[in-house]
A and B are shown apart, each in its own frame.
Chain A
Amino acid sequence: MAGRPKQALNIVDRPLSKNKLELSTVSVSAFAFLTSEIIQYTMDNASNTTDLDERLDRIGYEVGVRNMELLSFREKVPRRKPEVLDALRFIHSTAWPHMFGKTADDLQQAAAADDEYMISDHDLPTNRYVSVPKSYGSFNPGGLVAGIIRGMLGTAGFPARVSAHFVESRDRPKPTTTFLIKLDTLVMQREALVKQQR
C-alpha cells in the first residue's frame, strides 16, 4: 500500500542548530575516501599538475565560502572580522578544529613581506592517506584545503592567493604542509586606509 508521501521541507524551514551537541561529525575513513575520490576525479579531467591544483582549489573555494558564514553563525557571539588578522585567527582557531579536530599548528607572518602569511599543519588529513609519485613534482593534495582557505578569506573580503607547500622538517618523519597566503594589494590598501582614519 502506498504510504502518505512526505512533504519535503523547504530549505528555509529546516532548522539550523547552534548547539554543539546536535552537530554531527564525519569519520576519518569517510573523509579520506571522499578526498581520494575527489583527487581521482580531478586527475582524470586535468591536463597537468597545475591544472589539477587549480581544479582542487576551485572545489575547495566553494566549501570555504560557505564554511565562513556557517562557522561565524555558530559562534557564541557573532563578531565580524574587519581585519586580516581577525580572519586568519578565525581560520586557525575556529575553522581548523571544525574541519580537522584540532587547531592549525602555526600561523605566522612572512618575514620578508607584510602581505604574506603562513598557516602550517604537521599532519594534514587530506595528505595523510595520499602518496604523491615523483612524476608529479611538487604537487600537494593540500591544494583542496588551500582552496578552502582562499574561499574563507575571499568571502570575508580579503582576496588572496593561497598555495600549499611541503616543508621538510628535521624532527618529524613526514613533511609539514604550509599554506602560503598572499593577500591582494586591495586588502593592504584598505587596511592602511582604515588605520589612517583611526
Chain B
Amino acid sequence: MTSACTFVIVGQLDHPIYEADLTGPKEQQAQYLHQFVLHASLDAIDDIMWSTKECHLKTTDRFNNLLVTAYVTPGNSARFLLLHDGRNDENIKSFFTEVYELYLKIMLNPFHGPASKIMNKEFDKKVRTYARKILGL
C-alpha cells in the first residue's frame, strides 16, 4: 500500500537544501501540494522551535489527512520535515536521528555554505535506504 511521504531539509535561510520524494511515482499535482504544505508548516515549526529544548518536534501541522512531523538539529541550524499520513511515529524519530548524522557530515565540509543544496548522490542513496529500512517505504 503506497503512503504519501516527502522529506525535506530546510536550511537556516528558510529554503530547502534537500528534497526527497520517498514514495513511488506520483502525479505532478500531489508533488506541488506536498511542497506547499511543507513550506506552510515552517511557520508552525518556528513557533514551537523557540519554546522547547527538544529536538524531535512530533507532529507540528496538519493539512486534510496529511501530517507534518519535524526535527530540529541540536545546533539549531537545520530543520528536517517529513510529510506523511499518520503512521509509524517511533520510526520517524530514528529516521531523523540517522539523517542527522548524514547531514552533519555534509555540513562539516568547509565548502558547503549555509545555502548550498545537498547534491551528494551517496547522501541521497543513504536517505532512501534509511527510509526503506526504518519507515518501511
Which residues in A have some Cβ–Cβ distance to B below 8 Å? 10-14, 16, 62, 65-66, 68-73, 75, 78-82, 86, 155-157, 190, 194, 197-198
Contacts and interface: CB of A to CB of B under 8 A. Distances in A.
Contacts of B106: 11-12
Interface of B: 12, 49-55, 72-77, 100-102, 104-110, 114, 120, 122-123, 126
Given A155-B12, A156-B75, A82 B104 contact: no
B54 to A, nearest CB: 7
A12 B112 CA distance: 14
A82 B75 CA distance: 10
B108 A70 contact: yes
Given A66-B107, A66-B108, A190-B50, A11 B120 contact: yes
B51 A12 contact: no
Contacts of B120: 10-12
B133 to A, nearest CB: 16
26 contacts: A11-B122, A12-B105, A13-B122, A16-B101, A65-B77, A66-B110, A69-B77, A69-B104, A70-B104, A71-B75, A72-B75, A73-B75, A73-B101, A73-B104, A78-B55, A79-B55, A80-B49, A81-B53, A81-B74, A82-B50, A155-B75, A155-B77, A156-B77, A194-B50, A197-B51, A198-B51
Contacts of A198: 51
A156 B77 CA distance: 6
Contacts, number: 86
Given A68-B75, A72-B73, A12 B126 contact: yes
B53 A69 contact: no
Contacts of B73: 69, 72
A156 B107 CA distance: 14
Nearest to A154: B12
Contact of B51 (A71, A78, A82): A82
A10 B120 CA distance: 9
Give the one of B105, B110, B114 with max A CB within 10 A. Answer: B105
B114 A79 contact: no
A2 B108 CA distance: 33
Contacts of A62: 110
Contacts of A197: 51
Nearest to B120: A12
